[in-house]
Structure 1
């Protein structure tokens, strides 16, 4: 697997870009590849991923995980229960014999396990973010000149009714502002985070 740093993330649309540690172009990543993680990704996360080639020739992150973040226990239990469904089935008669006390005890044990996993995940996250040398890895992210950040420093743009296509835009900066801040835009057909590539942002 390859590693990189998440330098851009659009939470409302569920995608972002990874800057590979080995250098080269940023790699597209979708939220669906990280749905098994205990939390959603944030800018600055270290990502391990497998590169996949898309039909249009661009690359994206296939199987991926956030370094230092635990796997969602709910996701793992659903995955395992699907495989071992027949082996874990109990005859209805045996289920009726379970007492109220044993059922309550089982729920308490499950709750304690979930709490322990959650504490482990939080501790692992803080250990990674507070590790020596970690701040030097995160610093490049704070000065990243990505399109998303440039729009935050461009107060001259505002969402106007009816402006949803590239033909309505006057510049690449305005198009980027609209896809990040305005609803119902139709300017990013390939969902790579870069709008109006044929008109402005190529």
Structure 2
């Protein structure tokens, strides 16, 4: 980093010249754009700290500079304000998808509750139901399944086992599972003799 004194300044046009502390060098051109971070504009006589660069036309120009003893304006303030604004944008951009996910979750939970809820039966519902007593297992050691007559179950295709079919032909009226009337139901599906 080099040092020099600001010897000329054109405030209207925003440029001037620095006389380097080393006397061998020519005056260095400086533009206001590289001093925008300073708390005040430069004035003739200011001590300038700078880095220089030789331009294609052979002239020397200050490319980074500050005014000695003058405060530097923090660019963090403007950056943090910009960052807060970006955060607000990104937060609002995420808010809508989060609300949609929340609404779908609530909707799904309500549907789940409806599907798993135990229905409340009125007296009229109970009177309309066809009740058949379950057949009690006479021999609890055999672990026989308990069956009961259900309305509309009269064909072999509606049975789940030979035991169920046998129960139905012996206990439930109107079954159509013993075509040859030999007492063995569903011979081709459940109760084959082979």
TM-score by length of 1: 0.40
Asked which structure has the greater RCO (Cα within 8 Å, sep 6+), the reply is: 1
Higher helix share: 1
